[in-house]
Structure 1
Amino acid sequence: MTFEALPEPPSRAPDLADDFTGPALRADLWIDHYLPHWSTPERSRARYDLDGDGLRLRIDDDQPDWRPEDAPLRVSNVQTGDFSGAVGGHRGTHRHRPDGLTVRTPAGTRLLWAPSAGRVDVTVRAAVDPGSMLAVWLVGSEHLDPRDSGEICVFEIDAEAVGPATTTARIGIKAHHDDRLRTDMGEVPVPVDASRPHTWTAIWGAGGTVIGCEGRVVGRFPQAPDYPLILMIDIFETGGRSPVTAYPKTARIHRVRGWDLTPGWSSPLSHGARDSGEDQPGK
């Protein structure tokens, strides 16, 4: 299969830039909880290491389920923003569960990087432990309007779909509660061993959404959410604890680069910024 080359990234420095080489996860870029407003801190908190080779996300043997109602479902996630209303309400980022969600830990509004149009490049190594999945999503913050809930699924890779020459990933658009979008998801084989470092790209704006892998276009979609999107990177375990699988189950994030291309918005990093772990977020 022949894939078209992706466009080159913007010439200016990225607004979001992290190689995960510091002694701690950068609080100016990342929230180390999975949708914490729908859960409680001990359940939403990510398990991870920074060991000089990127961010190692873990599912540990003693890790609790994200919510008791969703068991078995354990996740370690980092995200670039969050929003919720008051305790007991139903306003909040990513109302993705069909049975409804209620705010348990109010988050307020915290947007560290949430462009309405942009580009993101994420270099990862997928999980290969049975029953695990690595995913990268851009999801609507919903802080302005509950309809602003659409999602760009950059990829979802099940451990069982990783092969030595080809990996199958799910990519596309999920409408969720946004009636201006339609869900358009599909599976795509990419010629990579996803257990090795490789880079995924999403580019979105008025012309639609492009998803790429290793510099090549693997999906084009004629629609894109046009409101603030939060980047989420996570490892899931959905099949429950395994008595024969060694823990922790892991995936690795080596590098993230993101550009806010929202019309009319000018990055303070566009002149003289360093492309390093010391960059500040665009907003």
Structure 2
Amino acid sequence: MPATFDESFAGPDLDLDVWTPAYLPAWSSRAAAAATYALHDDGLHLTIPDDHPVWCPDLHRPPLRVSAVQSGNRSGPVGSTDGQQPFREGLVVAEEQPESRGFVPLRGRIEVECRATLGPRSMFSAWMIGMEDRPERCGEICLVEVFGDAVDGPAAAVGQGVHPFRDPALVEEFSADPHEIDVAAFHRYAVEWRADGIDFLLDDAVVRRSRQSPDYPMLLILAVFDFPDRAVPGVPDPMPELVVRRVSGSDLSR
């Protein structure tokens, strides 16, 4: 990949050499996991309309619906356990994914500028994961994760940090801390990922630091989620939407 990356989703459609418009499709298929999306003047719109299907309905609990794009993709053959972010024991690949490395940096500054429309049963997130070309290369760096029920007017609990999953070199280091932020407006969520640690930034201000640093390339996932079992009868919920105006990054390994 190039040493710098700058994506403003100018269209007319997604650059499919960079983005896979499906959420972890190895566990179902690209068709079954496809995002509902459109490109407008203000960027990429990921939405979950009423007719959007449940993701992996026979496998994932609780049920969820998701529209996501990811900047890298791969899997082993059908029937193998070689896929990205397996969510339960014994999960096997349903559709083999050819390897794609559109934006898969090893360290650098990675920034996502976005806004979201959320209700109590939805959330949005931007996070980086290993390609899992080796099982231990599976850690996560979360730039941002916000649940709708953690939004209180002009404030929200903003999740950031590191998840190790099956990477023995990492430890769990994640929290959702309160910030004076209106997630319905555009904000910049970023990490400065170095060999000696990670700084997490919100609108250019460092809001947390970690001494951990995954030592393998990582892809980026942008997603909006809906959790149907959290619906409250008689209480309307807005259509979940994530609007991404820009993704930028640099690869310090070059």
SS of residue matched to 2:249: strand
Please state if 1:204 is matched with 2:193. Answer: yes
Amino acid at match of 1:231: L
Residue of 136, 145, 151 corresponding to 1:162: 151
Tell me which residue corresponds to 2:112.
122
Matches of 2:229 and 2:45, distance apart in 1: 21
TM-fit CA distance, 1:239: 3.4
The equivalences for 1:5-44 within 5 A come to 15-44=4-33
Amino acid at match of 1:154: L
Taking a change above 3 Å as real, the CA distance of residues 219 and 100 of structure 1, as seen in their structure-2 partners, is: farther
Contact 1:154/1:202, CA 8 A, preserved across alignment: yes
The equivalences for 1:1-283 within 5 A come to 15-68=4-57, 69-70=59-60, 72-95=63-86, 97-143=87-133, 145-240=134-229, 242=231, 244-245=235-236, 248-262=239-253, 265=254
Matches of 1:194 and 1:86, distance apart in 2: 40
SS of residue matched to 2:117: coil
Matches of 2:10 and 2:206, distance apart in 1: 29
Amino acid at match of 1:198: H
TM-fit CA distance, 1:177: 0.6
Could you state the TM-score of these two structures normalised by the residue count of structure 2? 0.92
Runs of 4+ in 1 over 6 A off after TM superposition: none
Amino acid at match of 1:31: T
SS of residue matched to 1:180: coil
Greater displacement, 67-76 / 224-233: 67-76
In the alignment, structure 1 segments of 5+ residues that lack a partner are 1-12, 266-283
SS of residue matched to 1:160: helix
Matches of 1:259 and 1:100, distance apart in 2: 36
Could you state the TM-score of these two structures normalised by the residue count of structure 1? 0.83
Taking a change above 3 Å as real, the CA distance of residues 123 and 176 of structure 1, as seen in their structure-2 partners, is: same
Matches of 1:173 and 1:248, distance apart in 2: 29
Count of residue pairs the alignment pairs up? 249
State the Cα deviation string for residues 222-253 of structure 1 (Å, max 9, x = none). 10111010000000112348465356321211
State the Cα deviation string for residues 168-219 of structure 1 (Å, max 9, x = none). 1111100001011111111212221111111001111211111110111111
Amino acid at match of 1:81: G
Contact 2:55/2:65, CA 8 A, preserved across alignment: yes
Matches of 2:33 and 2:25, distance apart in 1: 5
Contact 1:130/1:245, CA 8 A, preserved across alignment: no
Amino acid at match of 1:258: G
TM-fit CA distance, 1:42: 2.8
Contact 1:127/1:195, CA 8 A, preserved across alignment: yes
Contact 2:18/2:100, CA 8 A, preserved across alignment: no
In the alignment, structure 2 segments of 5+ residues that lack a partner are none
SS of residue matched to 2:26: helix
Aligned-pair identity (%) = 35
TM-fit CA distance, 1:91: 0.8
Contact 1:126/1:157, CA 8 A, preserved across alignment: no
